[in-house]
């Protein structure tokens, strides 16, 4: 409040006091109103700060999701060539919508194979579903493949090249076919350490039994692949530099499946070498991961399929009879070459 002037008259002083007294309630009301406005402003400021904080959290969340999505780049392979030139970014609504492209499935003939020993429905083989494309497990598997890619050297690549050619195609039956020898020799890869005598030429009965077995296995393996239709690793993450591009889905691994089938069957004949055979089969399965074409869970599914498949084989009277003939032949040829235990 302003002071009263020093040279004012008594009358003017009284008048000034009366005026000041009449203005006091208004000033008090104004002060109270200002106080209320300050409280409201402070409340509004707190609300605004909270909203800004929430907005920042949301922006960070979106940024993290965007980064994760960018890390898992969606790509498709446009054919069977094994070069990065075939990879193109695909605009897909969800990672879980990605499957192996039907147009790229080039093994339809395997779905029409006639089985020799087994006559059971495909659903007889109970494999657990593979991890979802968006799952933490799949992300971890992709990161593991990226690690293998980073650490593989020329020697490792050459070794996996050799293993990549170890597979039996039941449709390659003509001896004049340029691939016939490789195809037949693939049946003896898992047991090759038994000795140089372990081959198709010296073991014709064994060769025929194994051909029958893998023909049956191939039908069921590719039926399962078609059913699960899992995309290859490089179709989920463009950073994976796959060394080949198989023309069929990923789950279960065919190399892991057939290698373990061989290991389990040979284990029935040579139980003392069972661990060795399984070790060779596991090495085969791992080579497919090194090449960037299979997830570790594909390899495990292949091993599990092989266990169930051989279990079903043992129920077949025809197979058990053929297995005894195969065992007899192997024992005779082994004895003739005086193979000693390692």
pTM of the predicted model, to two decimals? 0.73
pLDDT tens digits for range 257-290: 999 999 999 999 999 999 999 999 999 999 999 9
d(CA 203, CA 81): 36
Q: Confidence class of residue 200 from pLDDT cuts 50, 70 and 90?
A: very high
Query: How high is the pLDDT of residue 95?
Result: 87
Q: What percent of the chain has pLDDT over 70?
A: 71
* Nearest alpha carbon to residue 204 among 316, 330, 331: 330
Query: How high is the pLDDT of residue 169?
Result: 97
Query: How high is the pLDDT of residue 25?
Result: 53
Query: How high is the pLDDT of residue 271?
Result: 96
Q: Is the pLDDT of residue 198 over 90?
A: yes
The CATH H-level (homologous superfamily) assignment of domain 93-336 is Phosphatidic acid phosphatase type 2/haloperoxidase (1.20.144.10)
pLDDT tens digits for range 220-251: 999 999 999 999 999 999 999 999 999 999 99
Q: What percent of the chain has pLDDT over 90?
A: 69
Query: How high is the pLDDT of residue 259?
Result: 98
Q: Is the pLDDT of residue 54 over 90?
A: no
């Amino acid at each position: 409040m302003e002071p009263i002037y020093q040279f004012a008259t008594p009358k003017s002083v009284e008048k000034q006091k009366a005026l000041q007294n009449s203005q006091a309630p208004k000033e008090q009301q104004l002060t109270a109103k200002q106080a209320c406005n300050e409280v409201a402003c402070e409340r509004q400021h707190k609300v605004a700060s909270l909203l800004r904080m929430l907005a920042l959290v949301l922006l960070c969340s979106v940024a993290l999701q965007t980064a994760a999505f960018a890390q898992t780049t969606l790509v498709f392979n446009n054919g069977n060539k094994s070069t990065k030139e075939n990879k193109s970014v695909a605009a897909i609504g969800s990672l879980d919508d990605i499957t192996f492209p039907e147009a790229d499935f080039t093994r339809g003939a395997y779905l029409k194979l006639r089985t020799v020993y087994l006559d059971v429905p495909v659903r007889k083989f109970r494999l657990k579903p593979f991890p979802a494309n968006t799952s933490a497990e799949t992300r971890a598997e992709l990161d593991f493949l990226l690690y293998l890619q980073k650490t593989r050297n020329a020697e490792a690549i050459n070794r996996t090249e050799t293993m990549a050619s170890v597979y039996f195609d039941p449709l390659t039956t003509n001896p004049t076919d340029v691939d016939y020898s490789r195809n037949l020799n693939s049946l003896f890869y898992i047991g090759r350490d038994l000795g140089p005598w372990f081959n198709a030429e010296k073991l014709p009965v064994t060769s025929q039994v194994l051909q029958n077995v893998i023909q049956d296995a191939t039908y069921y393996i590719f039926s399962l692949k078609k059913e699960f239709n899992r995309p290859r690793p490089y179709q989920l993450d463009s950073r994976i530099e796959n060394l080949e591009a198989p023309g069929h889905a990923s789950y279960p691994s065919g190399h892991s499946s057939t290698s373990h089938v061989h290991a389990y069957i040979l284990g029935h004949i040579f139980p003392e070498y069972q661990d060795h055979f399984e070790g060779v089969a596991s090495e085969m399965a791992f080579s497919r991961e090194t090449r960037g074409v299979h997830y570790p869970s594909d390899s495990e599914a292949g091993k599990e399929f092989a266990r169930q498949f051989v279990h079903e084989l043992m129920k077949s009277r025809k197979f058990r009879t053929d297995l005894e003939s195969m065992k007899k032949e192997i024992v005779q040829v082994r004895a003739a070459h005086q193979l000693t235990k390692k």
